[in-house]
Amino acid sequence: MRFLVLFLWLHVALLALEFSLVKKETNTSEPTLLVVGGIQGDEPGGFNAAAILAMRYAIRSGNVWIVPNLNFESIIERSRGGYGDMNRKFAHLDPSDPDYEIVRRIQSVITDEQVDLVVNLHDGSGYYRAAYIDEGHNPQRWGQSCIIDQSAITAKAYGNLEQVAAYVVDEVNKKLVDEEHRYHLRNTKTAEGDTEMAKTLTYFAINHNKAAFGNEGSKEFATHFRVYYHLAALEAYMRYMGIDFSRDFALTPEGVKAVIDTPHPVTLFEKFTLPAASLRPVLRYVPIDRAKKPFESPHPLICLVPQSNAYRLFYGNNRLSTIVPEYFESDDSLHTFGMRIDGAARQVQAGEIVEVKEHFSVDPIEGYRVNVIGYTHPKGIETGVTLTRKALPERFSIDIEGRIYRIEIYKGERFSAMALVRFVR
């Protein structure tokens, strides 16, 4: 299987976060599903579901393309769109619009001849019902629905939109946690005069002969419940298309929550790795070389955003920490160094996170200076000293539980390496 991840980095100077395109392909002549999440940044069910599809699913036949973070700036801002609603910019768009390049790029992905079917993930208000029941259940609500613009189109595949949507709705309704969560099909009949829907991504797609659907979780739910229903719908689309897949977690609300809450490491400035979970709100005096690439992570919802004299680290629309740097030039000569972990000698990789049960020490490194952040020796010696968790004041830890501490290594005035020790229970 060919698994190509195209991660497009942020333009630091412009603060323009570009979207990722993840391609999971087995045979390009087989059906291809395109999934889009994050067109509106205040709908975390959609972009988290797309990210989980990218990270935790294996495609065994067919092809799945995923854009988990289309409007990345609006995701980190928790807004519908910093420059207006991006999902109303697919009919006409002035080149001066700040979203112009992103919209044009996703349009080129949608119209790629390999794409057969497009699903745009949203979180909608309340519960859609064809007839008025009450304020939360009526035709003006969007939650828990599969959206089509019309019953059928002319397309090379899957033009029978209503039939496809009916199948998906039926499949999702087999997995309801509660009867109130029932999915319904909603045909907006866009061509009959719905001027707002005529501006959307899905209407653009069907006007380019691509089968396209909106999937709406309900904003009444916690994020992991919305994601659960999005994934149930996406699996139904894949089954309809004959795309064979597997995942490495249980498709239950609890299983989805565990996946969302799983820490994802992030490498900063090519020098050290943070666990990206339970970090302190502010990390100060972090050694950084501005000449290095700012960050790298396998997760498409993790990003590092410069702000004034600091950097904000995000996981989706959750700010993990603000990193206040201390700038150094780099020395790249040190790749490993010696430590004793709970009495056992081992070589540690620069940037590694090392688990410790009781105590650790760092071996002397000729020509380098070691600084265990939080430890002060009366003679300024920080190598060859056995340290326990009690020897390190909790305020110097990088995590709110007081378990993870920094080991920094310098060669003269240059920053060489960092490793982290994590005290495990």
pLDDT tens profile 228-260? 999 999 999 999 999 999 999 999 999 999 999
For the stretch 254-305, pLDDT in tens is 999 999 998 788 999 999 999 888 999 999 999 999 999 998 999 999 999 9
For the stretch 352-362, pLDDT in tens is 999 999 999 99
Bridge partners, 273 (sequence order): 267
pLDDT at 366: 96
How would you write the chain as a 3-class SS string? CEEEEECCCCECCCCECCCCEEEEECCCCCCEEEEECCCCCCCHHHHHHHHHHHHHEEEEECEEEEECCCCHHHHHHCCCCECECHHHCCCCCCCCCCCHHHHHHHHHHHCCCCCCEEEEEEEECCEECCCCCECCEECCCCCCEEEECCCCCCCCCCCCHHHHHHHHHHHHHCCCCCHHHCCEEEECCHHHCCCCHHHCHHHHHHCCCCEEEEEEEECCCCHHHHHHHHHHHHHHHHHHHCCEEEECCCCCHHHHHHHHHCCCCEEECCCEEECCCCECCEEEEEEECCCCCCEECCCCCEEEEEECCEEEEEECCEEEEEEEEEECCECCCCCEEEEEECCEEEEEECCCEEEECCEEEECCCCCCEEEECCCCCCCCCCCCCCEEHHHCCHHHCCECCCCEEEEEEEECCEEEEEEEEEECC
pLDDT at 377: 81
- Whole-angstrom Cα distance, residue 105 to residue 82? 18
Structural contact between residues 382 and 362, judged by C-beta atoms closer than 8 angstroms: yes
Query: Mean pLDDT for the chain?
Result: 93
- Whole-angstrom Cα distance, residue 202 to residue 110? 10
- Those residues whose C-beta lies under 8 Å from the C-beta of residue 221, and which sit 6 or more positions away, are 45, 229
Indicate if the alpha-carbon torsion angle 347, 353, 359, 361 is positive or negative: positive
pLDDT at 264: 83
pLDDT tens track, the chain, 425 positions:
433 333 333 333 234 478 999 999 999 999 999 999 999 999 999 999 999 999 999 999 999 999 999 999 999 999 999 899 999 999 999 999 999 999 999 999 999 999 999 999 999 999 999 999 999 999 999 999 999 999 999 998 999 999 999 999 999 999 999 999 999 999 999 999 999 999 999 999 999 999 999 999 999 999 999 999 999 999 999 999 999 999 999 999 999 999 999 878 899 999 999 988 899 999 999 999 999 999 899 999 999 999 888 999 999 999 999 999 999 999 999 999 999 999 999 999 999 999 999 999 999 999 999 999 999 887 778 999 999 999 999 999 999 999 999 999 999 999 999 999 999 97
- Whole-angstrom Cα distance, residue 301 to residue 60? 24
The residues spanned by each domain of the chain are 2-261, 263-425
- Whole-angstrom Cα distance, residue 362 to residue 370? 8
Burial of 309 (0-12, 13-18, 19+ CB in 10 A): exposed
- Whole-angstrom Cα distance, residue 3 to residue 64? 10
Overall CATH class of domain 2-261: alpha beta
pLDDT at 6: 31
- Whole-angstrom Cα distance, residue 98 to residue 74? 12
